Amino acid sequence: MKKAGLFFAVSAFVTSLNSIAFSQKIENEVAVFAGLDKITGRIIRFDVKIGETVQFGALQVTPKVCYTRALTETPQTTGFVKVDEVTLDRKVQPLFSGWMFAASPGLHAVEHAVYDVWLADCKSADKFNPEPITPTRDDLGGRGFYDGPNSEALEANGITPKPQIRPPR
């Protein structure tokens, strides 16, 4: 009798381990990032389609893949991301290329002297939002984004207009 109970307990344990180990990854079309401007202290969330590049300050962020799990499983959002820095002399230098984990943003976040960027979430293309999301709504969109007249003057003073989508490389 004890052997049968032990067998079923071990069998249930192995089955649960298999379901954890072989959980399906869901490949998403959009990666959601959060970015911190250390000078203004403002945080922005922005969506980027897989394979496209968005400029956040002096950084160019390009997600290659973004995975999540089913809602019935333990959340785990991961993405492979490439981040380049545009220098003052307009040269593009690689800054980061690797996996980011939404559950541990400090583990593989991009830490720059002025900007920090980390993966926040993944979502499907039908939920893509081309506009950045800001916690406040001041006259510059909560982050210093401005796409109206004099945007060139703002750029000259270090204020970057809204992220620009660039074609994939």
pLDDT score recorded for residue 3: 53
pTM: 0.66
Q: Is the pLDDT of residue 24 over 50?
A: yes
Which has the closest alpha carbon to 51: 77, 86, 81?
81
The beta strand positions in 38-150, using DSSP E, are 42-49, 53-56, 59-68, 78-86, 92-101, 110-111, 115-123
pLDDT digits (tens, 9 = 90+) for 77-108: 999 999 999 988 989 999 999 999 988 877 87
Question: What pLDDT is stored for residue 72 in this prediction?
Answer: 82
Q: What is the pLDDT of residue 63?
A: 96
Residue 127: pLDDT above 70?
yes
Stretch 58-78: mean pLDDT, rounded? 90
CA 98 to chain centre: 12
Question: Where is average pLDDT lowest: 12-26, 55-69, 140-154?
Answer: 140-154
Using a pLDDT cut of 90, give the percent of the chain over it.
Answer: 38
Q: What is the mean pLDDT of the chain?
A: 75
Q: What is the pLDDT of residue 17?
A: 46
Q: Which residues sit opposite 92 in a β-bridge?
A: 86
pLDDT given for residue 144 in this prediction: 41
Q: What is the mean pLDDT of residues 54-76?
A: 90
- Confidence band (pLDDT; 50, 70, 90) for 166? very low
163: closest CA among 34, 67, 21? 34
62-85: average pLDDT? 91
Mean pLDDT lowest for which of 1-15, 43-57, 140-154?
Answer: 140-154
Name the more confident of 24 and 33. Answer: 33
Look at 21 and 146; give whichever has higher pLDDT: 21
